Structure 1
Amino acid sequence: MQITIIAGARPNFMKIAPIVHSIQKAKAEGRDIDFRLIHTGQHFDKKMSGDFFEQLGIPEPHANLEAGGGTQAEQTGAIMVRFEQELIANPTDLVLVVGDVTSTMACAVTAQKLRVPVAHVEAGIRSDDWTMPEEINRLVTDSITNYFFTTSEVANDNLRKSGVENERIFFVGNTMIDTLLKNRPRFMAPPIWDEAQLTEKGYIVLTLHRPANVDQEQQLKLLMEEIIVNSNGTPIIFPVHPRTAKNMQGLGIEASNLFFVEPLSYLEFNYLVERAKLVVTDSGGITEETTVLGVPCITLRNNTERPETISIGTNELIGTDPKAIKPAFAKLFSGGWKKGGIPPLWDGHTADRIVDSLLEIATKKGN
């Protein structure tokens, strides 16, 4: 069975790494499976993409479509045109897409128009917020997917409600957690650890990148001021996303305990997360990692596509109103934060289950 695997943006690389490794292991054992790895080039900054191949042990892509830049529509069109050429030149039995970025949706559409089956890893998650480009990508991708690999029973239910038959749903767990657990012993301290004289459970990690939080200057300024005022002087480490950095210019946000740093590598960032007192974020994937690492997490969003990080894990969804920060921080500093647990099948073996399922699918199809 020949699989074409798609990666385009930073979150994808954590999700494909264990799948690539599991396919390599299965092939070495004599099982009939191989892969071709395609980087769409959606993220083209080295810190946002290139380092991941090296740090996570992912082989160099067989092809890079170099389709980064431009508007959402321009990027989608460039990916589709170039991926169509790739598929025609290199036929495959199945296209495997992961997550919810533009590359995921664009490559799924392209594959189906060439009558190539699609498997979606992290299928079925929903925020029900159509203002998020990621939600549109999820809905489009899942509407044309053949095989659905899911992270939770919530995702399974979402798919069933949309009419997907049980035999096409494979509850396998979370490949992000495969990557996290495999690399945990390799986490390494970034320079800011010594520069700011950080200590375990003695600092806060902050990430912000969603338009609702960073595109309006007043909103971003109020959020930052509330975080700083209610931090009790605790160091705040803020790896600044390029989008956020652009919008921060001229706001004059500074404090003695606020440290801006460049985007960190995967191993450096998770070193900080694992040892943090608190993570404040508007990312979905980070809430999964904090749940498994047992680190308190505050999500500055009005919705989440990962409700299990709240119902089971250490995450709390407080919305985007800056006034919600004070009571949440007070709860943390008073020692009242929940302990949390780990969702089912988030055990580090998801990729093996995916590969087993792919081989089972191939057997049934006669590939």
Structure 2
Amino acid sequence: MIAFIAGTTAELIKLAPVHHALVARGSKPVLWFTAQHVDEVASTLEDLRLPEPDLWLVPRGRARNLETPSQVPAWAAAVLRTATTQRAEMRAALASDGRPGVVVVHGDTFTTPYGAAIARRILRSRVAHIEAGMRTGNLLNPFPEELNRRIATRMTDIHFAPTQNEVHNLRSARGVVVNTGANTVIDAMRDAISSQWGDDLPTEFGLATLHRFELLQRPDKFRDVLELLRDASEKGPIVYFAGAPERERIARHGLHYLFDDQRFIMKEKRRYLEFIPLLARAKFVVTDSGGLQEECAYLGLPCAIHRTHTERRQGLEGNVLLTGMRTDRLIHFLENYAEFRRRSTLHEFHPSEIIADTLVRLGYS
């Protein structure tokens, strides 16, 4: 039996195509959810046509969005408590089809190494890691993602690496390394991009998302980038999609004056199926999201990653500019974004099919 351990909406988005590919091959995978994200889970599951989690590793009635590092210890204790008390049932589920079981984790969230540890230490199961092998070479940047990836690698038996670069990073890892050619988000994007949603956005616009702890916890840096976007919006509208943490920081630091309804426009964060068609319409993107870097790379969409480091190679030296948190580099991008546009590769890769075929071939179903 195959079990997914996931905890965020981003993980659900990237695991959904793999889930569907396995179901198409006759498998009946289960989903165990750690509840790092809670608020948008119901709508995300509905949008992605995924079933309700078979097990909430944080009891659903007590689950809350994990928004700050200080919340991690209590969350981790709750997950461990459920995994320990439910280990007999979880082991039985993995063995229910009479074949070896495997637990699949994804990416670099707190759930990734924790899920791998639960699989290895508590369930005595093998571990498959999707989006394996990404590295910046700096343990503190981004933190804790770089550390999460490295810990997960040490417990993984099957590494699904998005490109040859990640395969190279895993050259000393034990177990099987499989090059999937791309991240599974490309499969999710193909499903989402044709979705039809009404919106009240300008006909043409730039798009921004800025949400990482490293930026929000530095009011001067956060203000600087918002001011640059406000100034750039004089040449054309820019829409900033902000979740609750970003809005709280904007209110705390009195930054609402930067926004208006015509040029620099703040909108609520959108659900995935609604967001991807809007992303495809954008003239350019400014973000601190590694996931959005990949999505823009596959679309060939001009994208500035406002971070000091990125673990992803997709789009670099092409449509993606890593600013290093330097305002001069961001200004250069905003003034010359059209030069960064590249052709779309959205229909060239099918990593979820490779992952499903590999798991089935190895005897997991």
Check whether TM > 0.5. yes
**How far apart, in 2, do the equivalents of 1:187 and 1:21 lie?**
22
Q: Which residue of 2 aligns with 1:35?
A: 29
1:92-131 residue pairs with structure 2 within 5 A? 92=94, 93-114=101-122, 115-131=124-140
In structure 2, stretches of 5+ residues that fail to align are: 95-100
Matches within 5 A, 1:40-79: 40-46=34-40, 49-66=41-58, 68=64, 69=66, 71-79=71-79
Partner secondary structure for residue 239 of structure 2: strand
Q: Identify which range, 219-228 or 71-80, moves more after superposition.
A: 71-80
Among residues 158, 163, 167, which one is paired with 1:147 in the alignment? 158
* Contact 1:124–1:155 (Cα < 8 Å) also in 2: yes
What's 1:268 paired with? Answer: 274
For residue 265 of structure 2, the aligned residue among 250, 259, 279 is: 259
The answer (yes or no) to whether the contact 1:283–1:299 under 8 Å persists in 2 is yes
Count residues in correspondence.
Answer: 341
Query: Displacement of 1:327 after TM fit?
Result: 1.4
Gaps of 5+ in 1: 28-32
2:305 alignment counterpart: 299
Indicate the SS of the match to 2:236. coil
Provide TM-score, normalisation by structure 1: 0.87
Q: Which of 313, 316, 334 pairs up with 1:329?
A: 334
Preserved contact between residue 206 and residue 237 of structure 1 (Cα < 8 Å): yes
Q: Is the 8 A contact 1:226 1:323 kept in 2?
A: no
Q: 1:183 to 1:252 in 2, by over 3 A?
A: closer
Structure 1, residues 17-75: CA drift from partner, whole Å, max 9, x if none? 11111111101xxxxx33111121110112xx321111111111112223544622332
Identity of matched residues, %: 27
2:147 to 136, 142, 147: 136
Equivalence for 1:278: 284
Distance 1:25 1:80 in 2: 32
Report if the CA contact (8 A) 2:192-2:276 is conserved: no
Q: Which amino acid aligns with 2:149?
A: R
Note closer, same or farther for the CA distance 1:148–1:187 as it changes in structure 2 (3 Å cut).
Answer: farther
CA–CA separation in structure 1 for the residues paired with 2:104 and 2:183: 15
Q: Match of 1:222? A: 224
Deviation at residue 10 of structure 1 after TM alignment: 1.7
Deviation at residue 294 of structure 1 after TM alignment: 2.1
The residue aligned with 1:82 is 82
Asked whether the 8 Å contact 1:39–1:61 carries over to 2, the reply is: yes
**Are 1:221 and 1:251, in contact at CA under 8 Å, matched by a contact in 2?**
no
RMSD: 2.0
The aligned counterpart of 1:23 is 22
Of residues 347-356 and 269-278 in structure 1, the stretch that sits farther from structure 2 once superposed is: 347-356
Instruction: Choose the corresponding residue for 2:173, options 161, 164, 167.
Output: 164
Question: Whole-Å Cα distance in 2 between the matches of residues 74 and 127 of structure 1?
Answer: 29
1:239 counterpart SS class: strand
What is the CA distance between 1:142 and its match in structure 2? 0.7
User: 1:123, CA displacement in angstroms?
Assistant: 0.4
Which letter maps to 2:36? Answer: Q
Quote how far apart the aligned CAs of 1:118 are. Answer: 0.5
Q: 1:348 to 1:62 in 2, by over 3 A?
A: farther
1:340 Cα offset (Å): 5.2
- Deviation, 1:361, is 1.7
The one-letter amino acid paired with 1:354 is I
1:14: which partner in 2? 13
Q: Give the equivalent residue in structure 2 for 1:30.
A: none
TM-score (norm 2): 0.87
